[in-house]
Amino acid sequence: MRIDVPEGSLFGPANLPYGVFSTPGTAPRVGVRVGDSVLDLAAALGDDVFAAPTLNPFMAQGHERWAEVRRRLTDLVSAEVPGEAVHAVADVTLHLPVEVADYVDFYASEHHASNLGRLFRPDAEPLTPNWKHLPAGYHGRAGTVVVSGTDVVRPRGQRKAPDEPSPVFGECRRLDIEAELGFVVGTGSALGSTVSTSDFASRVFGAVLVNDWSARDIQAWEYVPLGPFLGKSFATSVSPWVVPLAALGAARVPTPVQDPEPLPYLREREPWGLDIELAVTWNGEEVSRPPYREMYWSPAQMLAHLTVNGAATRTGDLYASGTISGPAKDQRGAFIELTWGGKEPVRVGGESRTFLLDGDEVSITATAPAADGTRLGFGEVRGRVLPSRDG
Amino acid sequence: MRIDVPEGSLFGPANLPYGVFSTPGTAPRVGVRVGDSVLDLAAALGDDVFAAPTLNPFMAQGHERWAEVRRRLTDLVSAEVPGEAVHAVADVTLHLPVEVADYVDFYASEHHASNLGRLFRPDAEPLTPNWKHLPAGYHGRAGTVVVSGTDVVRPRGQRKAPDEPSPVFGECRRLDIEAELGFVVGTGSALGSTVSTSDFASRVFGAVLVNDWSARDIQAWEYVPLGPFLGKSFATSVSPWVVPLAALGAARVPTPVQDPEPLPYLREREPWGLDIELAVTWNGEEVSRPPYREMYWSPAQMLAHLTVNGAATRTGDLYASGTISGPAKDQRGAFIELTWGGKEPVRVGGESRTFLLDGDEVSITATAPAADGTRLGFGEVRGRVLPSRDG
């Protein structure tokens, strides 16, 4: 059969993102999304590396193999494929596509970092002195990275208002999102070695959307001096489809001007970002359109920084950009910025809203220019807030 | 044959720590140290769970199974064991015993946190306002946890002295250690659930020694506002033997008085620490004896805090105590404290020393009271500093 690609689909032959799916009674395995279909790669290509429940074994085969498989798939989807290898996307269950090794979250948007600086440290300069010299980042919890559609239980923890003498324990009252882009490392690097900015394309397999759920009240009380911990570690959602780096060539744009010039290990001949337009939807209503092209630090610079001290990387490492915020208010990728710390509510579903309530659902989507002149889509990353649980 | 246990051995029948070993031409598998021998558990017990290259499959079987195996081993080592299951510890290679899932580092010593506060933030209170309310912690890099004996390449990175206008790139000049105790999670907990202080014994399998190598100059420039990142992520060494929690009963001691009283989720009927005495050796010379009994936050409190927001845990999660420092100068577990930021050198090998030089070797060992009235030992965690490498 030929796979039908509907007019205007964001999953045309110039995209071909990879995911892990199952159908009732079958084991999770690797598939590629084409239009509204999923192509079962183990069945279509007869290669057991795609029968695995994660993309890791395929990613570990390296970037020449990724290119070869993409060429075969490009040919295949314009020709006949065995009918039994094709499933309607509506009929499959999508799983976490990658076994996450280490998870790092950066802070690469100048607009976001400035906004959060003003909100968290109102008496200081918005950007810390190091911010324009290095892509600031921290390690997050790999074991709580979950696939889109996973419900998020409202976390509990300690919080303390500035005017209270001591902390109280309870449900998070300032539950927030962060709309981010995440990069998946395909082939690792050895302990004691580095990955230069020019090695980026041979190391990074693809990109996903990330929602870095954030408990702002827990975070504000805990984060000095060791950084975010329980305010973030309860859940990080990712989209089910990994868009290959090879599909994002037409989306390349220069980064904003970097001044001061970065140190040599962070330089690229032409530092490049990606013209990816995100959309954040809150209970079905679009509230923000964060533009990835505004990010100060490039994807290659983040990886070069992460490894400059000789830290090893592994297949399945995930590093995210940090919240994507543009200069305009309706381009902010976190509700704490959009509502200015809760002081400037937004209208959602006819109500005045600040942070997330139980039952709220947030969805993040994104599109980018594709090589064939169309636009390509990232899979949606969606999550619903469930009430806190005891014990 | 009977396994000989030399008089005064720290690895007598009341210890029985687990590790992963190989002999020339054979695959890594699980063993138990008895005296100066390693007992091959797959060979001795005929159970394939011990033929795995990590302790994870055995740990995942749960605490009742851990207790059952310990009973069998206790009987076995006082009786006849098949000769082919016994190897001299000098003849085996020891491997990383655990496949580390997530790695968290706490900051549980009041003496250490106060000392570092004075050194890093001389104009502020030594302890941040949250310190006595919660066990502060952060996620580290699981992929760079290495076994004792692994060389550590001096990291490179950005540093900036307070009086310099902008950062420079180069080799770390203030390479340091942190002597810590690490706890290995045996059985995980689900996303959205918590692990109470009373659940500790059913979740935690055992303990290792940890050397959290630290690049103080890189750390000082990067750590505000997101916490330690490249200053720590280049290497974290652990001892090859995991001392079972069941072996540490005789080492239990009350924690120091906790004032203010912690919030209910951090309370224990009697918060308990461990009377473990560490020794830090620098190029063969003992320079410090950090006492674990001085730690403010207990092992059970750290795990309860880590999961109070609903974060899942997995088999192989490792969480470390943070530097162990006592009140006396020769009880400090990091050289930045021992030499007061490099201003008060110590004598090592007849020389005046502050931070680590290339070729230096650091070893951390520890002993604790055992149930049979003897003392038990942790395996040594040792590492040598190699010069920085290009690229």
Per residue in B370-383, pLDDT (tens digit) is 999 999 999 999 99
Task: Give the model's pLDDT for residue B172.
Answer: 98
Q: Residue ranges of the domains in chain A?
A: 18-95, 103-386
Name the β-bridge partners of B347. B352
Task: Give the model's pLDDT for residue A390.
Answer: 72
Per residue in B62-120, pLDDT (tens digit) is 999 999 999 999 999 999 999 999 999 999 999 999 999 999 999 999 999 999 999 98
Q: Does pLDDT of B21 surpass 90?
A: yes
Amino acid letter, residue B303 = L
Contact assignment for B225 to A136 by CB distance below 8 Å: yes
Give Cβ neighbours of residue A369 (< 8 Å, ≥ 6 apart).
A250, A251, A275, A375, A376
Mean of the pLDDT values across residues B343-361? 97
Q: Does pLDDT of B336 surpass 60?
A: yes
Per residue in B161-188, pLDDT (tens digit) is 989 999 999 999 999 999 999 999 999 9
Contact assignment for B225 to A121 by CB distance below 8 Å: yes
Provide the annotated active-site residues of A.
Answer: 112
Please answer whether residues B89 and B36 qualify as being in contact, where contact means their C-beta atoms are separated by less than 8 angstroms: yes
Q: What are the contacts of A387-391 at 24+ separation with CB within 8 A?
A: A387/A153, A387/A154, A387/A358, A388/A153, A388/A154, A388/A155, A388/A156, A388/A171, A388/A172, A389/A153, A389/B192, A389/B193, A389/B310, A391/B193, A391/B194, A391/B196
B323 to A22, A30, A84, B137, B288: CA distances (angstroms): 46, 44, 58, 12, 12
Contact assignment for B311 to A230 by CB distance below 8 Å: yes
- Give the single-character DSSP code of B313: B
B41 to B18, B58, B244, B333, B341: CA distances (angstroms): 10, 11, 15, 35, 46
The dihedral built from the CA positions of residue A220, A226, A231 and A236, taken in this order, carries a sign that is positive
Put simply, whether A237 touches B (Cβ < 8 Å) is no
Distance between CA B204 and CA B250 in Å, rounded? 17
Residues of chain A below pLDDT 70: 391
Please answer whether residues B384 and B152 qualify as being in contact, where contact means their C-beta atoms are separated by less than 8 angstroms: yes
Contact assignment for B130 to A191 by CB distance below 8 Å: no
**Residue A88 host element (H or E):** strand A86-88
Residues of A in Cβ contact (< 8 Å) with B264: 169
Q: Which of B123, B138, B194 to mutate to test the interface with A (most CBs of A within 10 A)?
A: B138
**Is the interface score ipTM higher than 0.85?**
yes
Task: Give the model's pLDDT for residue B120.
Answer: 85
Q: Quickly state the pLDDT bin for B391 (edges 50, 70, 90).
A: low
- Determine which one of B87, B111, B112, B305 is catalytic: B112
Task: Give the model's pLDDT for residue A175.
Answer: 98
Tokens representing B226? Answer: 């997101």
Task: Give the model's pLDDT for residue B390.
Answer: 72
Q: Which of A172, A221, A233, A236 to mutate to test the interface with B (most CBs of B within 10 A)?
A: A233
Distance between CA A347 and CA A349 in Å, rounded? 7
- Chain B residue closest to A167 (CA)? B133
Q: Is A219 annotated as a binding residue?
A: yes
Contact assignment for B234 to A263 by CB distance below 8 Å: no
How many Cα atoms occupy the beta-carbon half-sphere of B213 within 13 Å? 35
Distance between CA B348 and CA A90 in Å, rounded? 68
Whole-number average pLDDT of chain B: 97
CA dihedral B173, B179, B185, B190 (to 10 degrees): -50
Instruction: Say how far residue B81 (Cα) sits from the centre of its chain.
Output: 31
Sheet (strand B93-95) strand order? B86-88, B37-40, B29-34, B18-22, B93-95
Distance between CA B27 and CA B14 in Å, rounded? 28
Distance between CA A105 and CA B183 in Å, rounded? 25
Amino acid letter, residue A343 = K
- Work out the minimum CA distance from A274 to partner chain B, whole angstroms: 25
Across the interface, of A137, A188, A309, the residue whose CB is closest to B155 is A309
* B111 catalytically annotated: no
Q: Quickly state the pLDDT bin for B364 (edges 50, 70, 90).
A: very high
Q: Does pLDDT of B310 surpass 70?
A: yes
Put simply, whether A227 touches B (Cβ < 8 Å) is yes
Radius of gyration of chain A (CA): 21
Please answer whether residues B331 and A256 qualify as being in contact, where contact means their C-beta atoms are separated by less than 8 angstroms: no
- Label the pairing between strands B381-386 and B152-153: parallel
Task: Give the model's pLDDT for residue A157.
Answer: 98
User: Residue A321: helix, strand or coil by DSSP?
Assistant: coil
Task: Give the model's pLDDT for residue A391.
Answer: 53
Distance between CA A21 and CA B27 in Å, rounded? 34
Please answer whether residues B228 and B219 qualify as being in contact, where contact means their C-beta atoms are separated by less than 8 angstroms: yes
Q: Which of B233, B307, B321, B358 to mutate to test the interface with A (most CBs of A within 10 A)?
A: B233
Pick the CATH number of B18-95 from 2.30.30.230, 1.20.5.510, 1.20.810.10, 2.60.120.380: 2.30.30.230
Task: Give the model's pLDDT for residue B323.
Answer: 98
- Neighbouring C-beta atoms of residue B42, cutoff 10 Å: 16
Amino acid letter, residue A59 = M
Q: Is A121 annotated as a binding residue?
A: yes
Residue identified by tokens 């290679």 is B93
- Label the pairing between strands B243-244 and B236-238: unpaired
Distance between CA B210 and CA B232 in Å, rounded? 13
Distance between CA B91 and CA B381 in Å, rounded? 18
Across the interface, of B155, B263, B310, the residue whose CB is closest to A153 is B310
Across the interface, of A140, A226, A306, the residue whose CB is closest to B137 is A226
Q: Quickly state the pLDDT bin for B320 (edges 50, 70, 90).
A: very high
Amino acid letter, residue A1 = M
Q: Is A197 annotated as a binding residue?
A: no
The CATH fold assigned to A103-386 is: Fumarylacetoacetate hydrolase; domain 2 (3.90.850)
